[in-house]
Structure formats: structure tokens, C-alpha cells
Amino acid sequence: MKEMSPNEIRSFQQERGLHITGQLNEATLGALEESRWKLGDRSIYLQSALVMRGDDVAALQSRLTEMGFNCGRVDGLYGEVTEKAVKEFQKSVGVKVDGKCGPATIIALLRLTRIVSGGTPSILRESATQKNRGPALANKVIVIDPASEDHEGEIVYDIAQRLEGRLLALGASVFLTRGSSNHPSESERITFTNQSSADLLISLHIDKYKNAEARGVATFFYGSDQHGIHSIVGERFASLVQREICARTDFLNCRTHAKAWDSLRLTKAPAVRVDLGYASNEGDLERLARPDFRDTVAESFVIAIQRLYLAVEDDAKTGTLRISDLRRAGIRS
């Protein structure tokens, strides 16, 4: 691999939906490795030790999804769901059913005309799953992931506890990815969330930047222009969270953004990451230091979660619902 300049690295990171640092960190090196592979460069199959990952896997998932075969999320990882979809495709076109995407399967994929475009089947499946869960919070499993860096750990953990208490009071099952003193890795947090069979993941962070003028709240969901896919439920939830926080606080609105970070991409449930202000901004830190402000942020999350599961006709104007309204409406059970 030829040496890349900082500008080239930043351009690549932006294109892939990564943190833009200009440095060849672990996530960027992983994305560079994945970008080497185009569909047809190699045989793709399920491995027991190390899961195959790359742009070719994502392209395979996209093509199968467009044809109506359920690969789950287009994440560039060749897992059991994707292997099952490959076998179903192989059976339908009359090639050897072995779950390996080799030359014969690639040729069949290239020859067939796309029946559905834009990944609509996966979007419909995700939306249907979310709607079928119903409006009650009592049967929802929600994982809260408070970051643990020195500049943010204590504050986001406190907000996570405030949010946890409110959700438990409404009957939801709630899990935190860490306690007050432990610091699990990103992969450990992802594994914990997936093993919890979560309905939602909320990852809480506080940003920081060399320019002290940077401020405000931003929300992120899984989406990749490179692979032409996004989480429709994640995007809607991110929008609801962003709108509720901005309607109830004086945080600057830094909007919602699609990203391909592993914490969003590899989590099976719809996931959002929320950057609650900047530790490098005096005004944002003053806000977050106030207990009443943290309470307002926690309530914003609860209302956004409930609005995600409400039918459109039952929804209310942003910033107007209160937790007491949910209790009176009998949405606890």
C-alpha cells in the first residue's frame, strides 16, 4: 500500500464515514483493508475463526437484498444470515448450494437483472419489526452505552443513570454497558448489546475540539453512501432524539449524520450515538454541570424513545410530551 498524505487519509475517512483525524488509526486501517476487495476478486464463504469482511461482501449483500434475499444489515461481514441468503440464491438459480460465493455464483449474480433497487426489502423488514413491537415500553430492551474517556465519563454515566431510572419506571428492561469504574472496549460493548437482544442502543458521548468555539449536540446513525444503505429506524430515532433535545434545551443544533462507525454498523439493533456538547466549550460544560439540565436531557431521550414506537396519529408536537403524559395514557404496559 502506498504511503498516504494526511489530506488523502482525511478524504478517505470522510468517504467511509469514519472519524476524520488524518491519521492511520485502527479503524482507518481496517477500512483500507476492506476497500481492497471488489465483488469477484475472491471466493466469499463463512469462516469459523475469522469472519470475512470487505467491500466485496457488502456488494454481495446489496445485490442479494435488491433481489429479495434476506442478508440482514448490509455491513460487509459474511455471517450466518448472509450465508443462508447465498444458499437460497444458489438454490434459486441452480448452482451448487454450498454457501460459498465463488465464480459460478458471481456469474449468476451478474447475469440477473435487479428486481428491486435501493435495498427496499431490508428497509421494509426493519420498519415492520419496529412497528410490530407496539407502543408499550414494558417489552422493550434498551441498552445505554455511556462513554468512558476522562473528559466525558463521569457526566455521561450520570445522564445514563438518570435515563435508566426513568425507563425502568415506565417498565422497560434497561442495561448499561459499563459500571461506574470499568472501561470496556468498543468490541466488548458491541458484543454485550447484541447478546442482550436489544431493541435500541443509545451511546452517550461528549465531544472535544481544539477550537473552543465548537459547541452543540449532534446525533449519529448507521448509514453508508459507499454501500447505499442506512438504518431507517436508526435514522428516525436519531432525528427524534436531536429534535427533542434541541426543543427542550439551548444546545446548538448540530444535526443528525450517517456514519459507518463499528458501534453503529455492527450492532444488530437500531443504534444512535449522541455527542452531548463539547468538553472544550465553556458554555456546554456549564450546561452539563447542572443537575436540572441533565434531567432535561434524560427526559428528552425517554420521550424520543416513546415517539419512535407511537403511531403517527398518536404522536405529539416536538417538545410537548412529558413522562407524566405517558403514564396517564397507560403506555407503561
Q: 142-195, pLDDT tens digit by residue? A: 999 999 999 999 999 999 999 999 999 999 999 999 999 899 999 999 999 999
- 8 Å CB contact between 105 and 163: no
Closest CA to 290 of 272, 276, 280, 301: 276
Query: Residues 6 or more apart from 166 whose CB is under 8 A from it?
Result: 298, 299, 302, 323
Classify residue 2 as exposed, middle or buried by CB count within 10 Å of its CB (0-12, 13-18, 19+).
exposed
State the pLDDT at residue 1.
59
Query: How far apart are the C-alpha atoms of 73 and 268, rounded to whole Å?
Result: 8
Evaluate whether 80 touches 47 at the Cβ level (below 8 Å).
Answer: no
Is-contact 237 167, C-beta < 8 A? no
- Run of H or E residues at 271: strand 271-278
Q: Which amino acid is at 283?
A: G
Helix axes 103-111, 55-66, angle to 10 degrees: 50
- Rounded Cα–Cα distance for residues 233 and 211 (Å): 33
Among the listed residues 77, 78, 103, 79, the one whose alpha carbon sits nearest the alpha carbon of residue 90: 103
User: Using the 8-state DSSP alphabet, how is residue 322 labeled?
Assistant: -
Q: Is 205 helix (H, G, I), strand (E, B) or coil?
A: strand
Rg (CA), the chain: 21
Q: Which residue has cell 486501517?
A: 29
Which stretches of the chain drop beneath a pLDDT of 50?
Answer: 114-119, 312-315, 328-333
Domains of the chain with bracketed CATH: 37-128 (1.10.101.10), 133-328 (3.40.630.40)
d(CA 204, CA 144): 8
pLDDT of residue 124: 54
101: number of Cβ within 10 Å: 27
Q: What is the pLDDT of residue 67?
A: 84
Dist. CA 281–CA 140, nearest whole Å: 35
**For residues 281 and 214, is the Cβ–Cβ distance under 8 A?**
yes
> Mind listing the pLDDT tens digit for each residue in 181-206?
899 999 999 999 999 999 999 999 99
